[in-house]
Amino acid sequence: MGEGDGTRVKFWKDLWCGNQALEEAFPILFNLSVNKDGWVAEAWEEEVGGSWGPRFNRHLNDWEVGEVESLLCKLHPLTIRRGVEDSFRWKENKNGSFSVMSFYSLLSRDTKPPFPTRTIWTPWVPIRASFFGWEATWNRLLTTDRLKRFGWSIPNRCFLCKQEEETTDHLLLFCEKARMLWLLIFSLFGVHWVMHSSVKRNLLG
């Protein structure tokens, strides 16, 4: 979160101070807090130039004072800016702005094989084409084999070649009609390409 007036961000529950919500970083103090759903602005006191003053429902024990000191040290570099609306930053982008590409990059970090993010989420590719590529990569197209899994009582045959079962990989890569189209495209550009076993592996190159 960028610095603002603190009227749109929960003090304990939102991720605004470091990489962890304060309720998770300081669970003991969270349980003692007077207002667990309070806003950041409500924990800021304007007196003497302004300071942080979270409130608790009882006097603190000696061993709890150290927790408060740690909390205040964490909050010390941050201030409230009255009249400035809170802004939110997407940490996966250096400029702080959200993008679909960075979101799916985050989701696919642990994917094996890796998700072909750079191939699909490319600025010059129309967003509809990118979503189609994403659905094909994750086998989410409504091909006949998937419709049967959803309970549809239909014969599983590719509607193009009428010979093989219709799956995403067959329809886009191995169907006789699709294969002829790929061969035509490759020949136009002088490319020699051996198809991999799935759409995802082909996009990974």
Position 46 pLDDT exceeds 60: yes
Tens digit of each residue's pLDDT (9 = 90 or more) over 89-130: 666 677 666 677 777 677 666 555 566 667 777 778 888 888
Q: Which residue has the tokens 């570099």?
A: 77
| 51-82: pLDDT as tens digits | 888 999 998 888 888 889 999 999 988 887 77
For the chain, the helix, strand and coil percentages under 3-state DSSP, each to the nearest 5: 40, 5, 55
pLDDT band at 149 (very low <50, low <70, confident <90, very high): confident
Is the sign of the CA dihedral 91, 92, 96, 99 positive or negative? negative
Task: Copy the structure tokens of residue 166.
Answer: 């219709």
Average pLDDT over residues 160-173: 91
- 70 and 64 Cβ atoms separated by less than 8 Å: no
The domain spans of the chain are 1-88, 100-204
Whether pTM exceeds 0.85: no
SS3 36: coil
Quick count: other Cβ atoms within 10 Å of Cβ 58?
8
pLDDT the model gives residue 1:
47
Structural tokens at position 178:
């699709």
pLDDT of residue 36: 93
% of the chain with per-residue pLDDT over 90? 22
Q: What is the mean pLDDT of residues 180-192?
A: 89
Q: What is the pLDDT of residue 200?
A: 82
pLDDT attached to residue 113: 56
